[in-house]
Amino acid sequence: MRDAGPTPATRPRPRWRRLYAIASLAITAFAVSDLSVKAPALRIALDCAVAVAAWGATLLWIRANRVALDQLEWCDCTAKTVTVRVILSRPARPVDPSAAGMVVVAAGDPRGVESETGEPSVPVSR
């Protein structure tokens, strides 16, 4: 049995039938609205709504097929010549005040801590 999912060697293909369905539905909706609606203002509003819906559906189709549309013009040797680098980000390390030579003093502590130079430290609030 074959797997239903795409293999790495195959390139995705645009789903042209869905685009044709969007165009067919838009043309049908325009025809129905022009033939059935008699009031000019309502017909214009309905035509505008159909146009906006067709535009939005086309944009969604383009977004869903953007990888396949990009790879349409690639040659067969592209997989051998294109290098993709994946850069993973490292998690931020928490700052350890004691390792940095800092002293944390509770706010309102009248004693405070003096630094090596003899200057009083600045209280840190939490």
Round the average pLDDT of the chain to a whole number and report it: 78
Domain count, the chain: 2
| Amino acid 62: pLDDT | 96
The model's pTM: 0.55
Q: Does 44 share its domain with 74?
A: yes
The answer as to whether 73 is a domain residue is yes
| Amino acid 81: pLDDT | 79
42-53, pLDDT tens digit by residue? 999 999 999 999
Q: Does 77 share its domain with 99?
A: no
61-107, pLDDT tens digit by residue? 999 999 899 888 888 777 777 777 777 877 776 666 666 566 666 66
The answer as to whether 120 is a domain residue is yes
Positions of E strands within the chain: none
Q: Which domain holds residue 122?
A: 95-126
What is the CB neighbour count within 10 angstroms for residue 85?
4
Q: Does 35 share its domain with 58?
A: yes
- Provide the angle, in degrees to the nearest 10, between the axes of the packed helices 40-64 and 16-36: 180
Q: Does 24 share its domain with 73?
A: yes
